Protein backbone atom coordinates (compact mmCIF):
# COMPACT_ATOMS: atom_id res chain seq x y z
CA UNK A 1 0.00 0.00 0.00
CA UNK A 2 2.92 2.36 0.58
CA UNK A 3 4.89 3.95 -2.28
CA UNK A 4 6.82 7.07 -3.23
CA UNK A 5 5.90 10.07 -5.35
CA UNK A 6 9.14 11.91 -5.89
CA UNK A 7 10.62 12.28 -2.42
CA UNK A 8 7.23 11.83 -0.71
CA UNK A 9 6.11 8.63 0.95
CA UNK A 10 2.41 7.81 0.86
CA UNK A 11 0.62 5.12 2.86
CA UNK A 12 1.90 2.47 5.28
CA UNK A 13 2.34 4.82 8.20
CA UNK A 14 3.75 7.76 6.24
CA UNK A 15 2.66 11.27 7.21
CA UNK A 16 -0.74 12.51 6.07
CA UNK A 17 -0.32 13.94 2.56
CA UNK A 18 -2.15 17.05 1.41
CA UNK A 19 -3.31 17.13 -2.22
CA UNK A 20 -4.34 20.71 -2.87
CA UNK A 21 -4.61 23.56 -5.36
CA UNK A 22 -7.15 25.42 -7.48
CA UNK A 23 -9.77 23.32 -9.25
CA UNK A 24 -8.53 24.52 -12.63
CA UNK A 25 -5.48 26.50 -13.76
CA UNK A 26 -6.71 30.05 -14.23
CA UNK A 27 -3.32 31.66 -14.82
CA UNK A 28 0.38 30.93 -14.45
CA UNK A 29 0.74 33.58 -11.76
CA UNK A 30 -2.13 32.28 -9.67
CA UNK A 31 -0.89 28.69 -9.86
CA UNK A 32 2.59 29.70 -8.70
CA UNK A 33 1.27 31.93 -5.92
CA UNK A 34 -1.12 29.31 -4.54
CA UNK A 35 1.55 26.62 -4.74
CA UNK A 36 4.05 28.82 -2.90
CA UNK A 37 1.51 29.56 -0.16
CA UNK A 38 0.71 25.86 0.24
CA UNK A 39 4.40 24.95 0.35
CA UNK A 40 4.99 27.45 3.15
CA UNK A 41 2.05 26.16 5.21
CA UNK A 42 2.81 22.48 4.80
CA UNK A 43 6.55 22.89 5.33
CA UNK A 44 5.91 24.55 8.68
CA UNK A 45 3.58 21.71 9.64
CA UNK A 46 5.74 18.89 8.30
CA UNK A 47 2.95 17.82 5.97
CA UNK A 48 3.86 16.40 2.53
CA UNK A 49 2.21 18.25 -0.38
CA UNK A 50 1.12 17.32 -3.90
CA UNK A 51 -0.02 20.34 -5.93
CA UNK A 52 -3.23 19.72 -7.85
CA UNK A 53 -4.82 21.73 -10.64
CA UNK A 54 -6.55 20.79 -13.88
CA UNK A 55 -5.30 21.81 -17.29
CA UNK A 56 -8.68 20.99 -18.84
CA UNK A 57 -11.97 20.38 -17.06
CA UNK A 58 -13.66 18.38 -19.78
CA UNK A 59 -16.67 17.55 -17.62
CA UNK A 60 -18.02 21.03 -16.84
CA UNK A 61 -21.81 21.28 -16.56
CA UNK A 62 -22.17 23.91 -19.28
CA UNK A 63 -20.41 24.19 -22.63
CA UNK A 64 -19.96 27.89 -21.82
CA UNK A 65 -17.98 27.22 -18.65
CA UNK A 66 -14.24 27.87 -18.44
CA UNK A 67 -12.27 24.65 -18.92
CA UNK A 68 -8.65 25.72 -18.45
CA UNK A 69 -5.61 26.65 -20.51
CA UNK A 70 -5.51 23.33 -22.34
CA UNK A 71 -3.12 20.40 -22.47
CA UNK A 72 0.15 21.97 -23.58
CA UNK A 73 -0.01 25.30 -21.78
CA UNK A 74 -1.49 23.74 -18.66
CA UNK A 75 1.22 21.11 -18.40
CA UNK A 76 3.90 23.75 -18.97
CA UNK A 77 2.53 25.69 -15.99
CA UNK A 78 2.46 22.57 -13.81
CA UNK A 79 6.05 21.80 -14.77
CA UNK A 80 6.99 25.32 -13.72
CA UNK A 81 5.20 24.86 -10.39
CA UNK A 82 7.18 21.68 -9.76
CA UNK A 83 10.45 23.36 -10.65
CA UNK A 84 9.83 26.59 -8.72
CA UNK A 85 8.24 25.07 -5.61
CA UNK A 86 9.80 21.63 -5.47
CA UNK A 87 6.55 19.69 -5.18
CA UNK A 88 5.02 16.81 -7.15
CA UNK A 89 2.12 17.80 -9.42
CA UNK A 90 -1.19 16.11 -10.21
CA UNK A 91 -3.84 16.72 -12.83
CA UNK A 92 -6.79 14.80 -14.19
CA UNK A 93 -6.84 13.18 -17.62
CA UNK A 94 -10.15 12.71 -19.42
CA UNK A 95 -8.98 11.23 -22.71
CA UNK A 96 -6.67 8.30 -23.48
CA UNK A 97 -4.97 10.25 -26.26
CA UNK A 98 -3.65 12.78 -23.72
CA UNK A 99 -2.06 10.29 -21.36
CA UNK A 100 1.34 9.90 -23.01
CA UNK A 101 1.86 13.67 -23.09
CA UNK A 102 0.50 14.18 -19.58
CA UNK A 103 2.75 11.48 -18.14
CA UNK A 104 5.83 13.41 -19.25
CA UNK A 105 4.82 16.32 -17.00
CA UNK A 106 2.80 14.86 -14.14
CA UNK A 107 3.91 12.92 -11.08
CA UNK A 108 0.37 11.68 -10.42
CA UNK A 109 -2.30 11.03 -13.06
CA UNK A 110 -5.84 11.44 -11.78
CA UNK A 111 -8.77 9.49 -13.19
CA UNK A 112 -12.02 11.49 -12.79
CA UNK A 113 -14.87 9.92 -10.85
CA UNK A 114 -17.19 9.78 -13.85
CA UNK A 115 -14.52 7.83 -15.77
CA UNK A 116 -13.34 5.45 -13.05
CA UNK A 117 -14.74 2.37 -14.84
CA UNK A 118 -13.25 3.19 -18.27
CA UNK A 119 -10.93 0.25 -18.84
CA UNK A 120 -8.86 1.68 -21.69
CA UNK A 121 -8.25 4.92 -19.81
CA UNK A 122 -7.25 3.10 -16.63
CA UNK A 123 -4.91 0.69 -18.39
CA UNK A 124 -3.24 3.41 -20.48
CA UNK A 125 -2.68 5.55 -17.38
CA UNK A 126 -1.35 2.59 -15.40
CA UNK A 127 1.13 1.64 -18.11
CA UNK A 128 2.88 5.02 -17.83
CA UNK A 129 4.26 3.95 -14.45
CA UNK A 130 3.07 7.18 -12.88
CA UNK A 131 1.19 7.05 -9.59
CA UNK A 132 -2.57 6.90 -10.21
CA UNK A 133 -5.20 8.68 -8.16
CA UNK A 134 -8.56 7.23 -9.14
CA UNK A 135 -11.66 8.97 -7.85
CA UNK A 136 -14.42 6.64 -6.68
CA UNK A 137 -17.51 7.34 -8.76
CA UNK A 138 -20.36 9.04 -6.94
CA UNK A 139 -22.50 6.16 -8.21
CA UNK A 140 -20.33 3.33 -6.87
CA UNK A 141 -20.16 1.38 -3.64
CA UNK A 142 -16.67 1.28 -2.14
CA UNK A 143 -16.31 -2.49 -2.63
CA UNK A 144 -17.09 -2.01 -6.34
CA UNK A 145 -13.70 -0.32 -6.70
CA UNK A 146 -12.01 -3.73 -6.47
CA UNK A 147 -12.38 -4.45 -10.24
CA UNK A 148 -11.12 -0.94 -10.98
CA UNK A 149 -7.97 -1.63 -8.99
CA UNK A 150 -7.59 -4.98 -10.72
CA UNK A 151 -7.43 -3.18 -14.09
CA UNK A 152 -4.64 -0.89 -12.87
CA UNK A 153 -2.69 -3.64 -11.15
CA UNK A 154 -3.14 -5.91 -14.15
CA UNK A 155 -1.24 -3.32 -16.17
CA UNK A 156 1.66 -3.64 -13.75
CA UNK A 157 1.08 -0.55 -11.63
CA UNK A 158 0.70 -0.79 -7.86
CA UNK A 159 1.23 2.91 -7.05
CA UNK A 160 -2.45 3.63 -6.48
CA UNK A 161 -4.47 6.12 -4.49
CA UNK A 162 -8.26 5.92 -4.30
CA UNK A 163 -10.18 9.07 -3.44
CA UNK A 164 -13.56 9.10 -1.75
CA UNK A 165 -15.57 12.14 -2.89
CA UNK A 166 -19.09 11.43 -1.71
CA UNK A 167 -22.03 9.44 -3.04
CA UNK A 168 -25.17 10.51 -4.89
CA UNK A 169 -28.10 11.11 -2.58
CA UNK A 170 -31.12 12.01 -4.67
CA UNK A 171 -30.77 14.90 -7.10
CA UNK A 172 -28.00 17.54 -6.84
CA UNK A 173 -26.79 16.21 -3.51
CA UNK A 174 -23.91 14.16 -2.17
CA UNK A 175 -23.37 12.48 1.19
CA UNK A 176 -20.33 10.83 2.73
CA UNK A 177 -20.44 7.34 4.23
CA UNK A 178 -17.30 7.20 6.34
CA UNK A 179 -17.40 3.41 6.37
CA UNK A 180 -16.16 3.75 2.79
CA UNK A 181 -12.74 4.89 4.00
CA UNK A 182 -12.27 1.69 5.98
CA UNK A 183 -13.55 -0.53 3.16
CA UNK A 184 -11.32 1.12 0.57
CA UNK A 185 -8.27 0.69 2.80
CA UNK A 186 -9.00 -3.03 3.00
CA UNK A 187 -8.58 -3.16 -0.78
CA UNK A 188 -4.87 -2.58 -0.19
CA UNK A 189 -4.50 0.97 -1.48
CA UNK A 190 -3.66 4.39 -0.10
CA UNK A 191 -6.91 6.21 0.67
CA UNK A 192 -7.52 9.91 0.11
CA UNK A 193 -10.56 11.87 1.25
CA UNK A 194 -11.72 14.65 -1.07
CA UNK A 195 -13.34 17.02 1.41
CA UNK A 196 -14.21 19.77 -1.07
CA UNK A 197 -15.94 17.77 -3.81
CA UNK A 198 -17.84 15.91 -1.09
CA UNK A 199 -19.79 19.11 -0.36
CA UNK A 200 -20.49 19.82 -4.02
CA UNK A 201 -24.08 20.18 -5.23
CA UNK A 202 -23.73 18.69 -8.73
CA UNK A 203 -25.55 20.86 -11.26
CA UNK A 204 -27.24 22.51 -8.31
CA UNK A 205 -27.16 26.01 -9.81
CA UNK A 206 -28.51 24.93 -13.17
CA UNK A 207 -25.65 25.89 -15.48
CA UNK A 208 -22.94 25.17 -12.89
CA UNK A 209 -22.50 23.08 -9.76
CA UNK A 210 -23.09 24.57 -6.35
CA UNK A 211 -21.46 23.71 -3.06
CA UNK A 212 -21.50 24.09 0.71
CA UNK A 213 -17.93 24.93 1.67
CA UNK A 214 -18.94 25.64 5.28
CA UNK A 215 -19.06 21.86 5.83
CA UNK A 216 -15.57 21.13 4.46
CA UNK A 217 -13.72 21.49 7.80
CA UNK A 218 -16.10 19.14 9.62
CA UNK A 219 -15.90 16.44 6.95
CA UNK A 220 -12.13 16.78 6.63
CA UNK A 221 -11.60 16.39 10.36
CA UNK A 222 -14.00 13.44 10.53
CA UNK A 223 -12.18 11.62 7.72
CA UNK A 224 -8.78 12.17 9.34
CA UNK A 225 -10.20 10.85 12.61
CA UNK A 226 -11.26 7.66 10.81
CA UNK A 227 -7.79 7.37 9.30
CA UNK A 228 -6.72 8.28 5.76
CA UNK A 229 -3.43 8.56 3.91
CA UNK A 230 -4.23 11.82 2.18
CA UNK A 231 -6.57 14.78 2.25
CA UNK A 232 -7.70 16.44 -1.01
CA UNK A 233 -8.68 20.11 -0.85
CA UNK A 234 -9.40 22.53 -3.66
CA UNK A 235 -8.26 26.00 -2.61
CA UNK A 236 -8.39 29.44 -4.21
CA UNK A 237 -7.33 32.98 -3.24
CA UNK A 238 -10.92 34.18 -3.77
CA UNK A 239 -13.36 31.24 -4.05
CA UNK A 240 -16.33 33.47 -4.83
CA UNK A 241 -14.50 34.65 -7.96
CA UNK A 242 -13.14 31.23 -8.96
CA UNK A 243 -13.77 30.13 -12.53
CA UNK A 244 -14.59 26.56 -11.42
CA UNK A 245 -15.94 24.97 -8.23
CA UNK A 246 -15.79 28.17 -6.19
CA UNK A 247 -18.77 27.25 -3.97
CA UNK A 248 -16.99 24.17 -2.63
CA UNK A 249 -13.43 25.55 -2.58
CA UNK A 250 -11.63 26.87 0.49
CA UNK A 251 -9.85 30.20 0.65
CA UNK A 252 -6.07 30.00 1.01
CA UNK A 253 -6.35 32.66 3.71
CA UNK A 254 -7.25 30.86 6.91
CA UNK A 255 -6.29 27.43 5.56
CA UNK A 256 -3.31 27.15 7.90
CA UNK A 257 -5.58 27.04 10.96
CA UNK A 258 -7.56 24.13 9.51
CA UNK A 259 -4.38 22.26 8.61
CA UNK A 260 -3.07 22.73 12.14
CA UNK A 261 -6.24 21.11 13.52
CA UNK A 262 -6.02 18.34 10.94
CA UNK A 263 -2.42 17.66 11.92
CA UNK A 264 -3.37 17.30 15.58
CA UNK A 265 -6.24 14.93 14.81
CA UNK A 266 -4.04 12.85 12.52
CA UNK A 267 -1.39 12.49 15.21
CA UNK A 268 -4.01 11.29 17.69
CA UNK A 269 -5.53 8.89 15.17
CA UNK A 270 -2.17 7.33 14.36
CA UNK A 271 -1.53 6.69 18.05
CA UNK A 272 -4.85 5.10 18.87
CA UNK A 273 -6.45 3.71 15.70
CA UNK A 274 -5.24 0.75 13.68
CA UNK A 275 -6.17 2.11 10.26
CA UNK A 276 -5.25 -1.17 8.64
CA UNK A 277 -8.28 -2.89 10.17
CA UNK A 278 -11.96 -2.36 9.68
CA UNK A 279 -15.28 -3.90 8.78
CA UNK A 280 -15.69 -5.35 5.32
CA UNK A 281 -18.87 -5.74 3.37
CA UNK A 282 -18.55 -9.51 3.79
CA UNK A 283 -18.02 -9.05 7.52
CA UNK A 284 -21.21 -7.01 7.75
CA UNK A 285 -23.12 -9.65 5.82
CA UNK A 286 -21.85 -12.44 8.06
CA UNK A 287 -22.85 -10.60 11.22
CA UNK A 288 -26.28 -9.76 9.87
CA UNK A 289 -26.83 -13.36 8.81
CA UNK A 290 -25.86 -14.62 12.24
CA UNK A 291 -27.80 -12.06 14.26
Give the CATH number for residue 228.
Answer: 3.20.20.70
Task: Check pLDDT > 70 for residue 282.
Answer: no
Q: Tens digits of per-residue pLDDT, 26-81?
A: 999 999 999 999 999 999 999 999 999 999 999 888 898 999 999 999 999 999 99
Does the pTM exceed 0.85?
A: yes
What pLDDT was estimated at residue 210? 80
What pLDDT was estimated at residue 207? 67
Per-residue CA distances from 189 to 3, 74, 131, 228, 289 (Å):
10, 29, 12, 11, 28
Contact 245, 23 (CB under 8 A): yes
What pLDDT was estimated at residue 59? 86
The domain of 167 spans 3-290
What pLDDT was estimated at residue 212? 92
- The average pLDDT across 101-120 equals 98
Task: Check pLDDT > 90 for residue 13.
Answer: no
Task: Check pLDDT > 90 for residue 285.
Answer: no
Question: Higher-confidence residue: 56 or 1?
Answer: 56
Contact 138, 168 (CB under 8 A): yes
What pLDDT was estimated at residue 287? 33
% of the chain exceeding 70 in pLDDT: 92
What pLDDT was estimated at residue 280? 35
CA distance 80 to 51: 12
Q: Tens digits of per-residue pLDDT, 84-99?
A: 999 999 999 999 999 9
Q: How many domains does the chain have?
A: 1
Query: SS3 sequence, 246-267?
Result: HHHCEECCCHHHHHHHHHHHHH
**Vertex 245 angle, CA 239 and 247, to 5°:** 55
Task: Check pLDDT > 60 for residue 173.
Answer: yes
- The average pLDDT across 279-283 equals 37
Amino acid sequence: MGFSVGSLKIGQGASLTLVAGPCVIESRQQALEVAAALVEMTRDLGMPLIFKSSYDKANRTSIRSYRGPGLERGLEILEEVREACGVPVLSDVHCRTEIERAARSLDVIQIPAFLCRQTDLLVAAARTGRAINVKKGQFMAPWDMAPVLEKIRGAGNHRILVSERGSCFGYNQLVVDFRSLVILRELGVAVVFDATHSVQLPGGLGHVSGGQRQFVPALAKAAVAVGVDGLFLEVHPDPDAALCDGPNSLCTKGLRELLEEIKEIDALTRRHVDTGKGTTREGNSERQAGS
